[in-house]
Structures are given as structure tokens and as C-alpha cells.
Amino acid sequence: MAVYLLAFFAHMAEWLFGSRSKVARTAAALTSDRTGTGKAAGPATARARADAAEGKGGTAVLDRPKVVTRSAPGARDVPDGPGAHGGDEQGDLYGRIAVSLMALAWALEAGGVLTRALSVRRAPWGNMYEFNITITTVVVGVYLVLLALRKNVRWLGLPLVLTVLLDLGLAVTVLYTASAQLVPALHSYWLWIHVSTAIFCGAVFYVGAVATLLYLFRERYETKLAAGLTPGRFATSVMERLPASMTLDKFAYRVNAAVFPLWTFTIIAGAIWAGDAWGRYWGWDPKEVWSFITWVAFAAYLHARATAGWKGRKAAYLALIAFGCWLFNYYGVNIFVTGKHSYAGV
């Protein structure tokens, strides 16, 4: 957690120093001709020179260029932002440090999950504490793999490491459970298959949910600009460095669509395990019911995406509802509802 905290501060520095790059670019534009770069002066600088030549006092004011968010009505070919570093070399350096710290923290956390498994000689997913530390490991692993594949996802780093810290804090303070053996019903190779796929699906669904949330903010920002409105300075500093809303929308859709078949397999594997353990494949246990509700919600989202009238914000809201069902299936059902899956409390 200490290393994750350092990564969080490094990601914050990446965003802060990246926002300063706008000031640097403005200053460079104002003084470009004075330093002999040979670039043409802007309209404001030309006016200042004309005033100076006529003996008038004048102050050069850089005209802020218009931000074009749509090339035509209804078009969504907005170019992506430069990323969290904002195009600034110092911001980019802090971003690379943050990624390195996250890789180190991931290795330490993965080692902790492994030692937990070795201490009990079983899969380390027998209670919510073990599930939490494993799923945060997988979430960070998915993020690092996307970066290794040269995907432009470093903008995910700050919200990801923040929620990982919150999840680990909850795990070590509220959900902590000492190492212990499982009940006989859980001694099955299906534990490795069913729970591991559920963990991976949850991690990928999380990445898709973050992208969906950012899509909603970015899409509203683009809509305001297209309507001639002026968003706040803070919103502009953040939004202009994110990918375009269309890019975020496609990313979230592809992530959810890619993992949905595996979530289907997770439910089927759970049913087969239930048949071996309890003698029935389906018994309307709360966990089973909410797993199916989650499946229906994501299926509805994917179906809505294939329907022209449900693209954009409507589909995004449906995706967040589906992820909310997954969260309740894990936290709500395990903590507040009693069923056959309630073996070790939290």
C-alpha cells in the first residue's frame, strides 16, 4: 500500500505538471519571435508591434485558439488529447515514475497473494479479504498489460490507483480474515476455475466502468464547447488531456464485449460446481440470482450498443448500471444477504 501511495502521488504530479505545460506553451508563443525562432507572430503580437511603432503603449495578449470538437454536425472524429502529462516532458517523467511504482507495487502484492496461498495450500480466494487483494492485483495487472501492448491508457492510472488504495484499505481494516481451511464443499478444482474467472471478469469490468465514467464527462465537455459555452479552467485542464469521447466509448465497449463471454462461462462453471457440491445446478441462491442479473444487464448493454438508438450516453448509463449490479453481487450479497455462498462471513 505504501508503494501504491507513492504511485498515486506520482500520478498526481503527472497531472499537475502536465497542466503547467499550457502556461509554458503560451509563454513560448508570446516570446517566440523575440527569441529568434523565426515563427510568425500572432495577431495579438502584431497589434502590439503596430502600437509600439506608432508610439502607443500596448500589451500583447495571446488570442486563445478555438477548440474544434466536431468537424461536422453529428460527427465524432475529435482527436485524442495528449494524455495525463499534457505534452509536457516533466509531466511525462512523473508519469513514467508512477507506472514503475505501480509495477513494483503489483509485484509485491502478487507476492502477498502467493504467500497467502502457500500458507493454506489452496487457492487464496476463500473469503472477501482474499478476493479483494487478488482482484486489485488483477486490475493493476490488466492496466500494466495494456501499457505493455502500447495502448494509450495511462490516463487510467490515477483513478485506478486511488480505488486500489481504497479497496486495500477496506480489505486490511474491515474484511481481514485470518488464514484458515475451507469447508468441504469448496475443496474442488472448480474453485480455481470458477473464482479465478470471476476475479478476472470483475477486474476488466472495472476498467470498462472507469472508461465509461470518463466518457460521460468528456462527452459533456465536448457538447459544451460545440454549443459555444466555456467550461471551467479545471475541467478544461483535465478534459483536454483525455482521449476523445468517441475513443473512450469504443474502448469501454470493446473491453466489456471482450470479457462478457468469460462472464458467461463463469456462471456456467458455478452451476457445474453447484451440481457437484450440492446436487443441483441452480437453486436461486442470492449469489446465483445476482450473477444472472449482472449477466442480463451486461447482455442488455451489448444488445443496446448494436441498436443505433442506444449508442452514446444511454448505453453508457446502462453499462454503469450493469457494473453496479456486479458490485452489489460481490459486496452487497456477501455482507447483507445470507445464502449458501456465505461460508466465512466477510
HSE (side-chain half, CA atoms, 13 Å) at 173 = 7
Please return the burial class of 93, using the count of CB atoms within 10 Å of its CB with bins 0-12, 13-18 and 19+: middle
Instruction: Let me know: does 160 contact 210? Beta carbons within 8 Å.
Output: yes
Give the per-residue pLDDT at 228.
85
- Residues across the chain: 346
Q: How far apart are CA 77 and CA 67, in angstroms?
A: 13
Q: How far apart are CA 231 and CA 239, in angstroms?
A: 10
Q: How far apart are CA 220 and CA 155, in angstroms?
A: 18
Give the per-residue pLDDT at 318.
94
pLDDT in tens, the chain (346 residues): 999 999 999 999 999 988 765 544 554 444 444 444 444 444 334 443 444 444 444 443 434 434 444 434 445 567 888 888 888 889 999 999 999 999 999 999 999 999 998 888 888 887 889 889 999 999 999 999 999 998 889 999 999 999 999 999 999 998 888 877 777 767 778 888 998 999 999 999 999 999 999 999 999 999 998 888 888 888 888 899 999 999 999 999 999 999 999 999 999 999 998 888 778 888 888 888 999 999 999 999 999 888 766 778 989 999 999 999 999 998 888 888 776 665 545 5
Phi-psi region of 312 (alpha: psi -120 to 50; beta: other; left: phi over 0): left
Q: How far apart are CA 254 and CA 275, in angstroms?
A: 33
Phi-psi region of 40 (alpha: psi -120 to 50; beta: other; left: phi over 0): beta
Q: Give the SS3 label for residue 218.
A: helix
What are the DSSP calls for 133-193, one per residue? HHHHHHHHHHHHHHHHTT-S-GGGHHHHHHHHHHHHHHHHHTS-----PPPGGG-STHIII
Give the per-residue pLDDT at 340.
63
Instruction: Let me know: does 155 contact 99? Beta carbons within 8 Å.
Output: no
Note the maximum CA span of the chain: 96
- Which residue is it, cell 517523467? 93
Nearest to 142 by CA among 187, 205, 82: 205
What are the CA-CA distances from residue 248 to residues 194, 319, 344 (Å)?
Answer: 30, 13, 39
Instruction: Let me know: does 135 contact 128? Beta carbons within 8 Å.
Output: no
Give the per-residue pLDDT at 77.
65
Q: How far apart are CA 222 and CA 239, in angstroms?
A: 9
Kindly report whether the global pTM for this prediction surpasses the value 0.95.
Answer: no
Nearest to 60 by CA among 88, 32, 81, 89: 32
Local structure of residue 58 (DSSP, 8 states):
-
Local structure of residue 330 (DSSP, 8 states):
I
User: Which grid cell sits at 89?
Assistant: 516532458
Q: In the chain, which ranges are continuous DSSP H helix?
A: 2-31, 43-53, 89-120, 128-148, 157-173, 190, 196-226, 233-239, 245-278, 286-305, 313-327, 333-336
Q: How far apart are CA 264 and CA 227, in angstroms?
A: 42
Q: How far apart are CA 12 and CA 242, in angstroms?
A: 15
